[in-house]
Structure 1
Amino acid sequence: MTEHIVREVDATPYAASLIEGHRDFGYNLETALADIIDNAITAEARTVELIADTVAEEPWIALADDGSGMTETELVEAMRLGSKDPTDEREAEDLGRFGLGLKSASFSQCRSLTVLTRQDGRTSCARWDLDRVAKRNDWCLELIDNPEVVTGHDLLTETGTVVIWENLDRLSGGYTHDRAKRAEHMNSELSRAEHHLRLVFHRFLEGAKPRLKLSLNGRQLTPNDPMATSHAATQKDPEEVLRLRQGDVLIRCHTLPHHKRMSREEWEEIGGPEGHLKSQGLYVYREKRLIIAGGWLGLARQTELTKLCRIAVDIPNTMDAEWKIDVKKASAQLPPVVRERLKKVVERFVGTSKRTYRSRGQKLVDETRFPIWNRVQKDGQIVFRPNLEHPVFRTYSDQLPEELREGFERCLRIVGSGLPIETLHAELVGNAEAVTADETSATDLEELVYSLAVTLMENGVPSEALSDTMQSNPFLRLRWEAAAPILEDFLRTRIS
């Protein structure tokens, strides 16, 4: 067999083109900041300060940590693109992946990346300036011998690292010449990033002695636990362990409390900017760091009745290849063996959330409790009709002349057939917690209590049991503070 004749030629990538390409890995501000914080955690930092000067003529952002710091040799290696082999075995606390995060995350937001670091009393400083690389088209990293003049030098602790972003061309929002609007836009982006960081690193921020303290412009950030594990009403299933050759996958299902059992602030906080409908589903953690926040990854549909379902899935960093963890650690794919197990878990679990909602709805259709609306199955569909036998309706109908009763009942039926189903569905899907019943006037409530009390007593309910029986009606239970005095007045009048 004839051997190939091989010649070698230099095919070194053009520095200017390749380094510009590293700006477009799909990072946004929040994922870029998270990647820098990953490095700080890997360096065993206990404190990370995020400082942002958005009002300066030349805005800048710095992240300062008190981790182990680096020697100059280690700094140069850290600034090298692709400084780590993703197949290398890592320590359990190592949140890195490709050795690209520091550079690609930073380049996605700025054109000048400077890193200050101090170890054993020696300070080192290096910079990538994309404009300089574009002009020279080479891979020469700048080493700065007088770091005390660099922005952010005052943030450097006795041991630690400061990452400084300058020339924030992608954070200006297009307001290059309008400092006020530019600052407003940057502050808005930082606000979104703050929510993301509190969520992604919530396990590091939790507890009386947290693993990490994270602050933004001097304000300490609090954790945002998407599982609401500390809430007394959260339902937690036992942890399941899937043992694989590359490590253990831990699975734990949580059913969030119904929104009526949480404060409005708690409910909105845990739902996040997109709300509970979008935030239901799988929460995948890699070494306690959240990488996927919500969504079912094709295992289930997002519905209103499953929006309380959240499943925490913990994986080790030894499974990165199988999960196809991306550069910015913000997406992954389920390995087939994990998908099969999770599919069974999800099918069993989503019923928990549905029961939480349906347990409230079923009481409304219990005929023994005189519902205002009846739930009727008709030709495979579900319709709701006013209950013409409700005591209030029946009492009023009996008081009408006989020739008017049919017209009254026709009006009730028209109200039922005119329910704005599509509008209700849109409101419930988009913002169910804001949909509520209209207020009832005192006169109408009094009429309801009197009519219902009379009907119950005519059906054999003793007077001493009226209170408990009437409170089983959801409508009255929610208004019992106002209804109770009306019932007491009715009983006094009845007895006298």
Structure 2
Amino acid sequence: MRERTCAPNPNLLESMRSVGYDLNTAVADIIDNSIAANATKISILYFGQGEEPYIAIVDNGNGMSEKTAFEAMQLAGNSPNKDRASNDLGRFGLGLKTASLSQARSLLMTTLQNGARTTLRWDLDAVARAGEWTLEQLNEKETLSALPQRVHDAMPVSHGTCILWRNLDKLETLAGRSLREIDKAMEELTGYLALVFHRFTHPYPDDNIRQIVIDVNGCTIPQRDPFLRDNPAVQTTGVQRISTSGATLRGYTLPYQNRLRDEDRQLLNLSEQRGKTLTDTQGFYVYRAYRLITWGSWFRMLPKKQATKLSRVQVDIPNSLDAEWTLDIKKSRATPPKIVSEVMKRYVDRLAKPSRRAQQFRGRRKNDDPYAPVWDIVNDRDGVFRYEINRSNPYIASFLDALTVEQQKTFMEMAKILSATIPYEDMQSRFAMDQRADNFTLNDDQARVFAKQMWTLNEHMGLTPERFVEYFRNTEPMSLCRNGEMILKEVSHV
């Protein structure tokens, strides 16, 4: 048998551009390398008015020696099967090159270690002209000439690395050439990085990692937390470990949207935009070494429904499970192995129940008394329901008693029309987009009028003052007044 060496053609660099990165996943891949190099500050810089287009990622990490830098620029410089440190977010040894070249035709890396600088550059046009794997090495003068002034000023003095992208053909094709369009793309990038690296920029108390700062053109990325861990209204479950895999699960049930504070909505980054509603973002949040890999999916274990939109599950996996979770090159998709998915399925079935309860009761005091609600829910066959005015509610009943027979008939006809025209579909659409209803509340003066009316009616009901207060404090609409019980006591002289 005869063997021949079959080296890849330099055109492979062009083919690598179509792996599937977008700007967000490409920049995130570079940040992974910075975190693995123990950086505590990472700056993303991009061009301004009058500058030649560029994007740079600068960190204050360990930096690299000349030998290590060359290996980093080599295709598949590291085996995916190689043992790595627990904080190493790389895998295939391709991320730096594939991520960078997916967005730009020129990739320059300049790195400092102990004050010694190494600068290397892949230029696709130069490789095409030479027809060879020509990696350029720049001296100090050439490096200073290649770096934009802002990038040069951001470089650390003794150790750190800068990745500089030039000739941004893919970004210009997708986002356009105007600075306004680039600003919009970078704004979306900022939101993406804020979520993906939120446990690095704002670690949870039980996270064993150092805090880092990430900024874009000098502006620190916003804080995000898909679980609202600082909100006392969030329901949590204990941590569950999955056999000996090292993976863990922890469930969260968010408060009903009407109970979300403004700061909660900012932490969740909620909006009507697709992918940013509670319904869209429910599901598993899979973290690999604290870095968010994939989110907003139940992995076909549950359908996305309104009833479970408050449920989220934090899944932590170590980087030693990459092969089992079939992590892709972009580190933007992972699929749980069968032994893990079975545990996840049982776990999420239990977790969905608090979400349904949170939406059903919405924080209102529960009362099984049939006279309490103003509206009755009537369940028909085949899962169909409707709302009707509850004639037995004391306030409705007292109002009807004050009307003539003809007026009562007219009122009930009007009530039927109101019940039949409740805009269910519009309400469902608005709740799906996480809009908040303006909850009606009685002020004290309004509540006092109702209380006096009920106390007068009580002459026929025969309730003691104590029983009167107990009965009506949980009855709509008195239950909608903050000081309802106090006013009832005042009126009944308890």
TM-score bucket of the superposed structures, by smaller chain:
0.7 to 0.9
The size of the alignment, in residue pairs, is: 479
Which residue in the other structure is 2:313 paired with?
311
Instruction: Find the residue that maps to 2:243 and give its secondary structure.
Output: strand
Mean CA deviation greater in 469-478 or 405-414? 469-478
Which residue in the other structure is 1:321 paired with?
323
Mapped pair 1:278 → 2:273:
no
Corresponding residue to 1:400 among 397, 403, 421:
403
Instruction: Find the residue that maps to 2:322 and give its secondary structure.
Output: helix
Deviations 1:43-95 (A, max 9, x none): 11122122222434322221111111112222121112222211222121110
Offset of 1:452 from its aligned partner? 4.3
Which residue in the other structure is 1:77 paired with?
71
Deviations 1:126-150 (A, max 9, x none): 1112222333332211111132222
User: For residues 30 and 61 of structure 1, what CA distance do their matches in structure 2 show?
Assistant: 12
Offset of 1:487 from its aligned partner? 5.6
Instruction: Find the residue that maps to 2:303 and give its secondary structure.
Output: coil
User: For residues 329 and 56 of structure 2, what CA distance do their matches in structure 1 show?
Assistant: 21
Q: Report the AA paired with residue 419 of structure 2.
A: G
Relative distance call for 1:76 and 1:277 in structure 2 (3 A) is same
Which residue in the other structure is 1:238 paired with?
238
Offset of 1:436 from its aligned partner? 3.2
Which residue in the other structure is 2:332 paired with?
330
Give the conservation status (yes or no) of the 8 Å contact 1:34–1:197: yes
Instruction: Find the residue that maps to 2:246 and give its secondary structure.
Output: strand
Mapped pair 1:423 → 2:422:
no
User: For residues 315 and 418 of structure 1, what CA distance do their matches in structure 2 show?
Assistant: 50
Which residue in the other structure is 2:249 paired with?
251
Corresponding residue to 2:184 among 183, 188, 205:
188
Which residue in the other structure is 1:15 paired with?
10
Which residue in the other structure is 2:154 paired with?
155
Give the conservation status (yes or no) of the 8 Å contact 2:54–2:164: yes
Instruction: Find the residue that maps to 1:243 and give its secondary structure.
Output: coil
Q: Which runs of 4+ in 1 moved over 4 A?
A: 173-177, 207-210, 361-365, 437-458, 464-469, 483-492
User: For residues 67 and 303 of structure 1, what CA distance do their matches in structure 2 show?
Assistant: 44
Offset of 1:201 from its aligned partner? 1.5
Relative distance call for 1:477 and 1:89 in structure 2 (3 A) is same
Mapped pair 1:300 → 2:302:
yes
Give the conservation status (yes or no) of the 8 Å contact 1:201–1:223: no
Which residue in the other structure is 1:348 paired with?
350
Q: Report the AA paired with residue 256 of structure 1.
A: L
Q: TM (normalized to structure 1)?
A: 0.87
Relative distance call for 1:454 and 1:89 in structure 2 (3 A) is farther
User: For residues 408 and 227 of structure 1, what CA distance do their matches in structure 2 show?
Assistant: 47
Mean CA deviation greater in 134-143 or 329-338? 134-143
User: For residues 176 and 362 of structure 2, what CA distance do their matches in structure 1 show?
Assistant: 54
Offset of 1:311 from its aligned partner? 0.9
Give the conservation status (yes or no) of the 8 Å contact 1:67–1:161: yes
Offset of 1:490 from its aligned partner? 5.3
Deviations 1:464-485 (A, max 9, x none): 565564442464444436x689
Relative distance call for 1:166 and 1:46 in structure 2 (3 A) is same
Give the conservation status (yes or no) of the 8 Å contact 1:272–1:279: no
Which residue in the other structure is 1:107 paired with?
101
Relative distance call for 1:212 and 1:460 in structure 2 (3 A) is farther
Offset of 1:215 from its aligned partner? 2.0
Corresponding residue to 1:133 among 121, 127, 133:
127
Instruction: Find the residue that maps to 1:172 and give its secondary structure.
Output: helix
Offset of 1:228 from its aligned partner? 1.8
User: For residues 257 and 22 of structure 2, what CA distance do their matches in structure 1 show?
Assistant: 31
Give the conservation status (yes or no) of the 8 Å contact 2:80–2:92: yes
Deviations 1:108-167 (A, max 9, x none): 222221111011221011111222233333221111113222212332211110111222
User: For residues 55 and 452 of structure 1, what CA distance do their matches in structure 2 show?
Assistant: 71
Mapped pair 1:119 → 2:120:
no
Give the conservation status (yes or no) of the 8 Å contact 2:225–2:267: no
User: For residues 176 and 219 of structure 2, what CA distance do their matches in structure 1 show?
Assistant: 28
Deviations 1:397-440 (A, max 9, x none): 22332233223212212221222222222222223x42335688
Instruction: Find the residue that maps to 2:76 and give its secondary structure.
Output: coil
Give the conservation status (yes or no) of the 8 Å contact 1:292–1:330: yes
User: For residues 202 and 170 of structure 2, what CA distance do their matches in structure 1 show?
Assistant: 32
Corresponding residue to 2:263 among 247, 265, 277:
265
Mean CA deviation greater in 288-297 or 206-215? 206-215
Relative distance call for 1:474 and 1:345 in structure 2 (3 A) is farther
Instruction: Find the residue that maps to 1:38 and give its secondary structure.
Output: helix
Relative distance call for 1:485 and 1:318 in structure 2 (3 A) is closer
User: For residues 28 and 453 of structure 1, what CA distance do their matches in structure 2 show?
Assistant: 68
User: For residues 233 and 176 of structure 2, what CA distance do their matches in structure 1 show?
Assistant: 49
- What root-mean-square deviation, in Å, do the aligned CA atoms of Structure 1 and Structure 2 show? 3.0
Give the conservation status (yes or no) of the 8 Å contact 1:391–1:448: no
Which residue in the other structure is 1:288 paired with?
290
Instruction: Find the residue that maps to 1:61 and give its secondary structure.
Output: strand
Q: Report the AA paired with residue 155 of structure 1.
A: A
User: For residues 262 and 163 of structure 2, what CA distance do their matches in structure 1 show?
Assistant: 37
Mapped pair 1:360 → 2:362:
yes
Q: How does 1:169-248 map to 2 (within 5 A)?
A: 169-172=169-172, 182-206=178-202, 210-244=210-244, 247-248=245-246
Deviations 1:176-221 (A, max 9, x none): 66xxxx2222222222222222221222222599432222222333
Offset of 1:33 from its aligned partner? 1.4
User: For residues 246 and 3 of structure 2, what CA distance do their matches in structure 1 show?
Assistant: 48
Relative distance call for 1:77 and 1:343 in structure 2 (3 A) is same
Corresponding residue to 1:35 among 12, 26, 29:
29
Which residue in the other structure is 1:46 paired with?
40
User: For residues 126 and 118 of structure 1, what CA distance do their matches in structure 2 show?
Assistant: 12
Give the conservation status (yes or no) of the 8 Å contact 1:471–1:480: no
Mapped pair 1:387 → 2:370:
no
> Percent identical across equivalent pairs?
31
Give the conservation status (yes or no) of the 8 Å contact 2:249–2:313: yes
Instruction: Find the residue that maps to 1:472 and give its secondary structure.
Output: coil
Offset of 1:310 from its aligned partner? 1.1
Relative distance call for 1:488 and 1:241 in structure 2 (3 A) is closer
